[in-house]
Amino acid sequence: MLFLLAVLVCGKTVAYERIASLNLCLDQVLLNWVAPGDIVSLTWLSGAAQYRSRPIPQHIQLNRARAEELLPLQPDLVLVGQYGAQRAARRLRDLGMHVVTIPDAYSLQQLQQQLQALENILGPLVPLQKEKRALQTLLAQPVPKRRASAVILSANNITYGSGMLEHQLLERAGFANLAARQGVNQLGRISLEEVIALQPDLLVFYGSEQDFALAYLAARHPVLQRYIDSGRTYTLPSQLSLCPVLAVVDTLQQLMNKRKSLVEAP
């Protein structure tokens, strides 16, 4: 009873105290939602500059998804993704370790299932439940009848059509994804000239500054400068491609706000 009281007072609800991850997205989930002292190992990718979302405490060991790296750490829970590090996961299971596969998520429905799977194993963590409730609230809202139009432009002139999470986010926020309307399924290519010809209300950029710069794009086509100057652009966060469960709520809310500002603009 005293232990339970201490748990409630400290707000510590995670059921495990030595958690390891063999998946980059799950690394980020643990770093953002679990107390650092409960994490013993993350993948080496989370230590790389292009993937690092926050400082990694010194006590956390970085692994390269090899079973022998985790054995000395004696984790009481090992999280693995649906596809990667399967050999290490099988080996650890054979050795009697508690290994749990968290399903990948490439759609809004799958993201809800992923959140539930994380809650089932990690317990009712406050930030996890907050994200889960926020997503449920946003998805419960009716799709606006008055739509704006949008096109996603990523590096190498890649655009996103139907069948992609990015498309779902646009549609749920009240945008008509013009690439999908042009028949693009999943990923496709679109030139700047085609983007301009479609005349979207919003131009959505996707990628880091290393992929492309707005100033460079504007120099290639003067019409783009008018989009930038008028605030008719939005940049999807890189976290959406790395670990969408951590970015989907903020992205969807921001897109909803963006649509509202466009349709209500004088």
155 shares a domain with 257: yes
pLDDT value at residue 226: 85
For position 10, what pLDDT does the model report?
A: 39
Q: Mean pLDDT over all residues of the chain? A: 88
Q: 229 with 197: CB under 8 angstroms?
A: no
Backbone angles phi, psi at 35, to 5 degrees: -60, 135
Q: Which of 108-112, 117-121, 145-149, 151-155 has the lowest mean pLDDT?
A: 151-155
pLDDT over 90 at 49, yes or no: no
Q: Among 105, 129, 152, where does a domain finish?
A: 105
pLDDT per position as a tens digit, 197-245: 999 999 999 875 555 565 556 556 778 888 888 889 999 998 998 999 9
For the residues 117-146, what does the mean pLDDT come to?
94
Residue 216 pLDDT: 59
If asked whether residues 100 and 186 sit together in one domain, one would say no
Question: 101 and 150: one domain?
Answer: no
CA dist., res. 247 & res. 127, Å (int): 13
Query: Are the beta carbons of 236 and 204 closer than 8 angstroms?
Result: yes
Could you give the number of structural domains in the chain? 2
Q: How far apart are CA 237 and CA 53, in angstroms?
A: 12
Same domain for 96 and 202, yes or no, is: no
Indicate whether 208 belongs to any domain.
yes
Question: Given a cut of 90, is residue 35 above it in pLDDT?
Answer: yes
CATH code of 248's domain: 3.40.50.1980
* Cα–Cα distance for residue pair 166/162, rounded to 1 Å: 9
Q: Is residue 33 part of a domain?
A: yes
Q: Would you say residue 131 lies in a domain?
A: no
pLDDT at 163 over 60: yes
Residue 129 belongs to a domain = no
- Tokens in use for 189? 């290519």
Express each pLDDT in 132-161 by its tens digit.
999 999 999 999 889 999 999 887 888 999
Task: Evaluate if residue 97 carries a pLDDT over 60.
Answer: yes
Q: Which is nearest to 158 in space by CA: 186, 138, 177, 132?
A: 186
| Terminal CA-CA length for the chain | 62
> Do 18 and 78 reside in the same domain of the chain?
yes
Give domain status of residue 116, yes or no. Answer: no
**Residue 149's closest CA among 264, 259, 2?**
259
| Contact between 118 and 102 (Cβ < 8 Å) | yes
Q: Are residues 89 and 151 in the same domain?
A: no
Q: With b meaning 16 or more CB within 10 Å and e meaning fewer, what string describes 103-124?
A: eebeebeebbebbeebeebbee
How much is the pLDDT for 15?
77
Is the same domain home to 83 and 157? Answer: no
pLDDT band at 6 (very low <50, low <70, confident <90, very high): very low
| Same-domain status, 66 and 179 | no
Same domain, 98 and 156: no
CB-CB contact of 28 with 246 (8 Å): yes
Asked which of 1-15, 68-82, 117-131, 170-184 is least confident by mean pLDDT, the reply is: 1-15
The alpha helices in 55-107, defined as continuous H runs, are 67-70, 86-94
The confidence score (pLDDT) of residue 68 equals: 92
- What the block records as the tokens of 254 is 């921001």
Q: Where do the H-state alpha helices sit in the chain?
A: 2-10, 24-33, 67-70, 86-94, 108-122, 126-140, 165-173, 178-181, 192-198, 214-220, 222-229, 239-242, 248-263
Question: What would the mean pLDDT of 94-111 be, rounded to a whole number?
Answer: 95
In this prediction, residue 2 carries a pLDDT of 35
Identify whether the C-beta of residue 76 lies closer than 8 Å to the C-beta of residue 16. yes
Domain-located, residue 126 = no
Task: Answer yes or no: is pLDDT of 126 > 60.
Answer: yes
* Domain region containing 80: 14-105
